[in-house]
Structure 1
Amino acid sequence: MKKLMFLLAAASLSSVAFAQQKSNSQNVLIGESVDVMEVPVDKYKVETNHFFDNWFFSVGGGAQVLFGDQSDLGKFKKRIAPALQISIGKWFTPGLGLRLQYSGLQSKSFSSEPSVYSKPHMLSEGYYQDKFNYMNLHGDILFNVSNMLAGYNENRIYDFVPFVGFGFAHSYDAPRRNSLAFNFGIINTFHLASAWDLNLELYGMGTENKFDGKTISKGPDFMAGATVGITYKFPQRGFKPAPDVDAIMALTSSQMDAINTALAQQIEQNRQLKAQLANQPTEVVTEQVTVNQIAPAPQSVFFQIGSAVLPANSTVNLQQIAELVKDNPELKLKVTGYADSDTGSAAWNKQLSEDRANNVANELVKLGVNKNNLIISGMGGVNTLTPPAFNRRVIIEAQ
């Protein structure tokens, strides 16, 4: 799984205590920290796939065998015919895709009596050889079971891809019959490079009984085959894993715990410093002590696509922020909502960003923050962060 990195500022806590005496001076600085954290992603979710993303073109060749009326009169090896496949398709998600395929080429069989596709002369074995050229044009639904079960992994070497589809088969030889066709099979995909795959496709095609030119027995005619081919994946290939919002919120909660720990240490150090200053001789000229100065880094609340509903685990962080504001009544918070500009219209994203900001602000008010301490705004859709899901958020900043 590709690991995404982005900068999460934990908290900047600072206090300065300064005492100047007649003969010396003392400076105390409790400093800053910025952590670079690895953002977790959900291997079963990806970013929205655009229309021109993940298109592919495939070509392959191999052999196929017809199982139809009286096809077993002759030897199996004499029924083997060449096969051709040409496909174009698109993956909509790592597990689901569609393709349009032109397949077929030639079919061989046998007949006890001359059929529409029989050669004019009887073979020495006492039956006729049938042969005709055909094509099968069909649309298939592709299921990448590897990605469905194990999650998306662009570095995986092998993928198991079953498919099913419908189309029609057409004979190029007179009387040029058309038959409905049902297609199914398995594509074994071996990834050679980011743009190239090697495919081993095992397939079956069921058609109406008239496909082989005979209707002696009941039931469909059946074609089975195997091909080897290559696939070229057009640019704008691959998927971007979506961030795990719950895990991100858990990280943010951990950061708030770190802020509280650092703040407690800072208060204790300031208390000790004040005690030391109180015991100094009276000739101390000036004394300046700054206690509990808080400059928390911006905090983010992340939302699901198209939603302004607060995630259940966001309350933990908002409670911590509310406590900081209640302990520092002069502190104002700027609550700014954003949306992902890659999805939705500009008007929709503007309203969505405002709804997100208002919902966060309302929750802070419920937790005891004075609404006069909140500056609320919605900035609409943006694309400042990658992946786009990081833009679906509300940022809370101290003013």
Structure 2
Amino acid sequence: MKKILMGLMLLGATSAMAQETTSEIAPMDKYSVATNNFWSNWFVTVGGDYVASYSNQERGLGLSRNPLKSFRRSWNGDVTLGKWFTPVIGVRAKTQFMSLKNVDGRTNPSYDMVNFNVQGVFNLRNLFCGYQPGRVWNISVYAGTGFYRNLDAKHYAFMYTGGILNTFNVTKRLYINLDIYGNMALTELDDGIRTTNTGKSNFMTTKDRQAGVSLGLGVNLGKVGWSKTPDLQAINAMHKAQVEALNASLAEQQRENDKLKELMAKRQETTTTTVTEKKTVVSTPVSVFFNLNSSRIASKKDLVNVQALVEQVKANNGKVEVCGYADSKTGSADYNQKLSERRANTVAKELKKMGLNDDQIVIKPMGGVADLNPASYNRRVIVKAL
């Protein structure tokens, strides 16, 4: 029975464990995370940009496309603010402060501009490899739209942007930002005068464009990262295995319990037989021994069998005979007679404590005897049922 109770306790513990599955013991889903509140996983970056400009006014001039040429090159800066909604999907707003070249093959004037755009960002590593909080390098792609403000020509131009964003985590909050991007104005970007040059024309060559690289530092704001969610399929499989193991354990414990019941039944039969035998034994005389020249009982253990005899006598409303003896080899006959009487009276007092009254006790002092060997065995009181 004890093992069955232990098995039930184990079942309860298993149920509690199923409810308290945590990240330390439960298998986690590689691609699933718990959602965070609005103020979690924000970020801000500041970077310096190298920008190569391509103007619609250079069409047909045969100029080099090399982005490192001085007539294309300009140095700029940018600031971004964004938020990750999931480990894969985010959004950011980017502002660029630019001095762009209008490449016309002649004067190549520069224009001071501000570019503001909003982008949707997709983290490819988390998408294909699963979210890992300690990952150092992440790569994302993004695309967005916005507008330019030409501060010199005093006009706006709508634009598209897209690129590849690399981040390298230095600490949990600080990271290095490497952004490779391209911008394209949908309307005239520079001085508003479209080219009159001839040459091969396509959608790209009729637009003002930039190719750029931004290198900077980023800071994560608010709570950083996501808590992974348990893998329910793996947990269900694990719990199924646990339940099967528990069922096997309970079956084994049930077999042990059946054996225990069988053993207890046999023991009860043996106990019944023993009690029956004791009833036969305690009806025979019981001896209580004393030390030399003493009327004090040598060992209280001798009273155990006396108690059993008394219980039988009380059950049958019978009587007992208490016969006192002394060792005839020591002391005179008169002294041994009195000593045997004192010993009998000592045992009689114990019988009264056990529930017998004077009418049920017959005292017989037998004096000194030499019935047993060694002589110490004769220093006794014999109690027997009548």
TM-score (norm 2): 0.59
For 2:134 and 2:268, the matched residues in 1 are separated by: 70
The answer for the alignment partner of 2:110 in structure 1 is: 131
Taking the aligned partners of 1:31 and 1:141, their CA distance within structure 2 comes to: 54
- Given that 2:113 and 2:148 are in contact with CA atoms closer than 8 Å, whether structure 1 keeps it comes out as yes
Judge conservation of contact 2:3–2:257 (CA < 8 Å) in 1.
no
Superposition pairs of residues 1-40 of structure 1, within 5 angstroms: 14-15=3-4, 38-40=25-27
Aligned residue number for residue 79 of structure 2: 86
8 Å CA contact retained: 1:14, 1:32: no
The structure that is strand-richer by fraction is 1
Q: Does 1:226 align with 2:213?
A: yes
| In 2: Cα distance, 1:154 partner to 1:208 partner | 39
On the 8 A contact 1:69/1:212 being kept in 2, the answer is no
Counterpart of 1:143 in structure 2 is 122
- 1:73-101 CA distance string (max 9 Å, x none): 58922321012110101000100000011
Matches within 5 A, 1:23-62: 38-62=25-49
Task: Identify the residue that residue 99 of structure 2 maps to in structure 1.
Answer: 106
Asked whether 1:169 is paired with 2:148, we answer yes
How many residue pairs were aligned? Answer: 248
Structure 1: 5+ residue runs without aligned partners? 1-12, 17-28, 113-126, 286-399
Work out whether residues 56 and 207 of structure 2, in 8 Å CA contact, stay in contact via their aligned partners in 1.
Answer: no
Match of 2:134 in 1: 155
**Cα distance per residue 1:250-276 (max 9 Å; x no partner):** 222222112211111111111112222
1:251 to 214, 238, 261: 238
Whether the 8 Å CA contact 2:53–2:101 is kept in 1: the answer is: yes
Stretches of structure 2 lacking an aligned partner (at least 5 in a row): 18-23, 273-386
In the alignment, the residues of structure 2 paired with residue 136 and residue 61 of structure 1 have an alpha-carbon distance, to the nearest angstrom, of: 14
Q: CA deviation at 1:41?
A: 1.0
Instruction: Write out per-residue CA displacement over residues 324-383 of structure 1, whole angstroms, 9 at most, x where no aligned residue.
Output: xxxxxxxxxxxxxxxxxxxxxxxxxxxxxxxxxxxxxxxxxxxxxxxxxxxxxxxxxxxx
Identical amino acids, percent of aligned pairs: 27
Q: Secondary structure at the match of 2:71?
A: helix
Residue type of the partner of 2:170?
L
CA distance in 2, matches of 1:53, 1:99: 14
Aligned-partner residue type, residue 171 of structure 2: A
Task: Give the alignment's Cα RMSD to 1 decimal.
Answer: 2.7
Runs of 4+ in 1 over 4 A off after TM superposition: 29-37, 71-75
Give secondary structure in 2 for the equivalent of 1:85: strand
For 2:181 and 2:157, the matched residues in 1 are separated by: 18
Distance in 1, Cα, partners of 2:7 & 2:245 = 14
Going by fraction, where is helix more abundant, 1 or 2? Answer: 2
Letter in 2 for 1:187: L
1:235 aligns with one of 212, 222, 225: 222
Aligned match for 1:207, one of 176, 185, 193 = 185
Q: Secondary structure at the match of 1:210?
A: coil
Cα distance between partner residues in 2 of 1:30 and 1:180: 72
Q: Distance in 2 between matches of 1:107 and 1:95?
A: 33
How many angstroms apart in 1 are the aligned matches of 2:98 and 2:263?
95
Contact kept, 8 Å, 1:167 with 1:182, in 2: the verdict is: yes
Q: Letter of the aligned partner of 1:156 in structure 2?
A: R
Question: Partners in 2 of 1:166 and 1:31 — Cα distance?
Answer: 63
